[in-house]
Structure 1
C-alpha cells in the first residue's frame, strides 16, 4: 500500500464513524454480529479501522491483536478497545505482510478491508499463512451486488471514489479462496448481496 493511501486513511480516521453512520446499522452491524458469534481463541483482526467490531465480541476474546496500515486508525481502535474493556495489542502493518509466525491464530477477522487493498489474493494468502489448522477466517465486505442496479451504482462509486482510497466496490473475496489455500465453510449475504460474509478454513483441515 502506498504512502499516499496510508495518509488518506489517516485523514479519514477522525470522521470515519460519522461517515458510515447511516450504513452501519443497515448493512454492517448484522455482518459484525455474524462474525462475533464465530470468534474463538487467539484472534487477529486485520484492517481494524476504528475498531467497530470490538463492542460485538468484547466478552468473547481474551487474546486479541489488531493491525491496520493507518496509525491514526489504530489509535482510534485502541481507544475503543479500552472503552469496551477488550485487552488488545495493536500493530501497524500491511495486511499482505504480517510479521507473525505461521499458524499463529485460531481466528482471523477481516471486515470491510479487502475492498481497499492493492492485491486481495496476496492478502488472503497471508491470512491463510497465519491461520492455524482447524481455525477460521471470518470475513465481511461490500462486494459485487447480485442486482443489476446495485452493480451500476457500484460502478459509479468506483469512478468517483478518491484514487488515494484505492477502494473497490465489485470484488468478491469468496471467489479467491481456493487459490489462497482456503475452503469455504459458511457464507451469507445481505439483500441484493451488497455485503457478503463468510467463514473459511485451510484446505484439508
Structure 2
C-alpha cells in the first residue's frame, strides 16, 4: 500500500466520527478559524483538503467554491453539506500534491487544518501557487509547533504516535515553505501558546 493509499484509508475510517470529534477542538483550540477564512476568501475559491465541508457555511454567497479531497467518504459528507446549504460546489476526489486544475484558475486557495497531514507540504504549496492568479490569496490555518517549550515537547511526544498511525504532524510550520514558494505574507498570527497559525499570503509575480 502506498503512503497516499494509507492516508486515504485513515481518513475514510475517521470520516464518520470526524464532525462530532472536532467540534470541541474548534471551540477551544481552533477558535474562530473558519470565520477568519470566510471573511478573507474572495472570487473563485479552491479549498484543498475540503474534508467534510466544515468551511462551506462560512464562504460568501458571492464566492464560487471548489474543493478537492483525498478521502471519498469525507467528500460524500461535504457533498451532503453543500446540498443542505443549497450551494453549488465543485467537489472532486484527488490529492493536494497534484491538483487537477490549470494555472491561474483561482483567486483564493484555502487549506485548513490539513497541511499537518499532507504527505509533501512543499509540493502541495507549490501546487496551490500554480493554480492561483498573480496576486491571488492563500489562506492557511493549521496547528504547528508551539512557541512555548513545554507544549512543544508534548507535541513532539504525541507525534511519535500520530505520525505512524495517521500521518499527522504537530511540530511542522508552514510559513517558511509559503515564503520559499514565492508568496508575500500579508497577515500572520500565532495563537493558543503559538500552536495555531493563521496565514494570509499573496502570490508574487
Q: TM-score, normalised by structure 1?
A: 0.94
Which of 147-156 and 135-144 deviates more? 147-156
Measured in 1, the distance between the counterparts of 2:60 and 2:86 equals 7
Measured in 1, the distance between the counterparts of 2:87 and 2:31 equals 19
Q: CA RMSD in A?
A: 1.4
Task: Tell me how many residue pairs correspond in the alignment.
Answer: 203
**Counterparts of residues 147-162 of structure 1 (less than 5 Å):** 147-161=148-162
Measured in 1, the distance between the counterparts of 2:60 and 2:17 equals 23
Which of 188-197 and 157-166 deviates more? 157-166
1:137 maps to 2:151: no
The offset of 1:178, in angstroms, is 2.4
* Residue equivalent to 1:196: 197
**Counterparts of residues 79-94 of structure 1 (less than 5 Å):** 79-94=80-95
Is the contact made by 2:143 and 2:170 (CA closer than 8 Å) also made in structure 1? yes
Unaligned runs of 5+ in 1: none
SS in 2 for 1:115: coil
Is the contact made by 1:140 and 1:196 (CA closer than 8 Å) also made in structure 2? yes
The offset of 1:113, in angstroms, is 0.7
Measured in 2, the distance between the counterparts of 1:60 and 1:9 equals 30
Measured in 2, the distance between the counterparts of 1:168 and 1:118 equals 10
The offset of 1:149, in angstroms, is 1.7
The offset of 1:179, in angstroms, is 2.1
Moved over 3 A (4+): none
The offset of 1:85, in angstroms, is 2.5
SS in 2 for 1:100: coil
Measured in 2, the distance between the counterparts of 1:131 and 1:60 equals 18
Unaligned runs of 5+ in 2: none
Which of 88-97 and 177-186 deviates more? 177-186
Measured in 2, the distance between the counterparts of 1:95 and 1:66 equals 11
* Residue equivalent to 1:72: 73
The offset of 1:59, in angstroms, is 3.0
SS in 1 for 2:193: helix
Q: TM-score, normalised by structure 2?
A: 0.94
Is the contact made by 1:58 and 1:86 (CA closer than 8 Å) also made in structure 2? no
* Residue equivalent to 2:30: 28
Measured in 1, the distance between the counterparts of 2:106 and 2:200 equals 14
1:17 maps to 2:19: yes
Measured in 2, the distance between the counterparts of 1:60 and 1:115 equals 30
* Residue equivalent to 2:180: 179
Gap change, CA 1:116 and 1:158, over 3 Å in 2:
same
